[in-house]
Amino acid sequence: LIPQSEDAARGAFARFANEAISPYAAASDAAGAIRPECIEAIRSAGYLGAFLPRDVGGLGLDAVSYGLLTCEMARACSSCRTLMTVHDMVGSAILRWGSRELRSEILPQLATGSLIAAFALSEADAGSDAAAMRATIRRQGEDLILDGVKSWVSYGQTANLFLVFGRSEEGITAVLVSGEQPGITRRAVTEMVGTRAAMMADVRFEACRLSPHSIVGKPGFGLTHIAQTALDHGRYSVGWGAVGIIDAAFAACTAFVRERCQFGTPLVTQPQIRVHLTRMAALARASRLMCREAGLLRQARAPEAIIETMLAKYFAAKSAVSAANAAVQIHGARGLLRSGKPERLLRDAKVTEIIEGTAEMLELLIGEQVSSLGYPI
Ligand SMILES: Cc1cc2nc3c(=O)[nH]c(=O)nc-3n(C[C@H](O)[C@H](O)[C@H](O)COP(=O)(O)OP(=O)(O)OC[C@H]3O[C@@H](n4cnc5c(N)ncnc54)[C@H](O)[C@@H]3O)c2cc1C
């Protein structure tokens, strides 16, 4: 049974999303830029860095509550959910691996949203194979020099803090780079059709001079520790985001099939339409339960939390694509209208199968683990 407190939290997050986010989602998507009032609402509600502990200014939400918040945000707008995802991926990496100085300097600013953080791992020739990255971090006297071009950086157009990964003598290293740093140029990526309002950019770092204090964790720990923590957080967030998309698809369909009449009767009376709705309801329930289970394991700091998070993200992302596809189908021609909701949900759902580990990469990672260690069914 779901405890009452979870229902209450979900209700509060849903009201926020309905009032402050939903009304602007279609316009943000059409403009390819999140509306400033959404960022302001998220910021002033304390929903940036909401998982951060209270002593650094966060709301200290437990993992399940944080998941419910993410889900409601995505139900309203996946581009807003993306803001929370990437900002909090950076926050989670600093919280876990940052020096005491970095934690006390940066985390309070992430919690208030005075800093908006972006995650810069991918490159044109280093996607799933992140270890193939070309960006470099060289020592020059006391300083570090960062050079490289990062691709597909969500909120790269506007972020004022980047977590960037590059090759150093010790291996791949993670550094924090201020958006004000000389040597940064941003090229907006306007052709991306999924999470269109997430202000994506390719970001060039050219001879960026950094202090050694900007290193997160130890030099050489970039991929093995820092990126893994961030990606684990990102998968949890994206899994819940996918649940939000399924909820939105289901709600749009149940409203539509009661209104739309063909053959003299509302579509809801047609058995095949009910089959679509049944499948969507099952996908919604299963995805939600898997994400919630992953959340409970995260709260318990159980080692299985990592694989349960991967499984939940994998399943919820596939379910979101399936549910959004069904929503387009149920709406017929209207489902493909740019001004309608189903086609946006389908574009945004597809993103969840690609980011924070593609479906295929998760199959490799989960497959490796379950075939060597087994899996408690
Ligand atoms: C909307 C959006 C937002 C994004 N935001 C960010 C961001 O903020 N920061 C960031 O760093 N990156 C971001 N990315 C990039 C994202 O992380 C990459 O797209 C992802 O890692 C996949 O890399 P790729 O696109 O280069 O595909 P590739 O790695 O080239 O893969 C192409 C296809 O081949 C498959 N494939 C690859 N290797 C294997 C294998 N060994 N076995 C089987 N199949 C394989 C993949 O699963 C995929 O289907 C974003 C992407 C999107 C679409």
Q: Which of 246, 103, 72 is nearest to 61 (CA)?
A: 72
Task: Identify the pLDDT of residue 335.
Answer: 98
Please state, rounded to an integer, the average pLDDT across all residues of the chain: 96
User: What does the pLDDT look like over 244-255, one tens digit per residue?
Assistant: 999 999 999 999
User: What does the pLDDT look like over 164-180, one tens digit per residue?
Assistant: 999 999 999 999 999 99
∠ CA 307-311-312, rounded to 5°:
115
Residue 131 has pLDDT above 90, yes or no: yes
Ligand 1 centroid to Cα of residue 151, in Å, is 10
Write down the pTM of the prediction: 0.97
User: What does the pLDDT look like over 40-65, one tens digit per residue?
Assistant: 999 999 999 999 999 999 999 999 99
Task: Identify the pLDDT of residue 374.
Answer: 77
User: What does the pLDDT look like over 89-123, one tens digit per residue?
Assistant: 999 999 999 999 999 999 999 999 999 999 999 99
- Ligand 1, residues 134, 321, 358: which to mutate, most atoms within 8 A of Cβ? 358
Longest distance between any two alpha carbons in the chain, whole Å? 79
Q: Is the CB of 165 under 6 A from ligand 1?
A: no
Residues 19 and 72: beta-carbon distance below 8 Å:
no
Mean pLDDT, range 296-322, rounded to an integer:
97
CA–CA distance, 226 with 204 (Å, rounded to integer): 21
Residue % of the chain over a pLDDT of 70 = 99
Q: Can you tell me which atom of ligand 1 is nearest the CA of 154?
A: 8
Mean pLDDT, range 204-230, rounded to an integer:
98
Mean pLDDT, range 314-339, rounded to an integer:
97
Residue type, 77: C
Mean pLDDT, range 8-30, rounded to an integer:
96
Task: Identify the pLDDT of residue 5.
Answer: 85
Q: Can you tell me which atom of ligand 1 is nearest the CA of 129?
A: 29
CA–CA distance, 82 with 195 (Å, rounded to integer): 8
Mean pLDDT, range 251-266, rounded to an integer:
98
Contacts of 300-309 with CB under 8 Å at 24 or more apart are 304/376, 306/232, 307/366, 307/369, 307/370, 307/375, 309/232, 309/235, 309/236, 309/239
Q: Is the CB of 157 under 6 A from ligand 1?
A: no
Q: Is the CB of 354 under 6 A from ligand 1?
A: yes
CA–CA distance, 53 with 95 (Å, rounded to integer): 9
Residue nearest to atom 13 of ligand 1 (CA): 152
| Residue, of 373 and 104, whose pLDDT is higher | 104
Q: Is the CB of 237 under 6 A from ligand 1?
A: no
Ligand 1 centroid to Cα of residue 360, in Å, is 10
CA–CA distance, 226 with 221 (Å, rounded to integer): 6
- Ligand 1, residues 119, 152, 313: which to mutate, most atoms within 8 A of Cβ? 152
Q: Is the CB of 121 under 6 A from ligand 1?
A: yes
Task: Identify the pLDDT of residue 376.
Answer: 65
Residue 377 has pLDDT above 90, yes or no: no
SS (H, E, C) 148-207: EEEEEECCCCCCCEEEEEEEECCEEEEEEEECCCCCEEEEECCCCCCCCCCCCEEEEEEE
Q: Is the CB of 203 under 6 A from ligand 1?
A: no
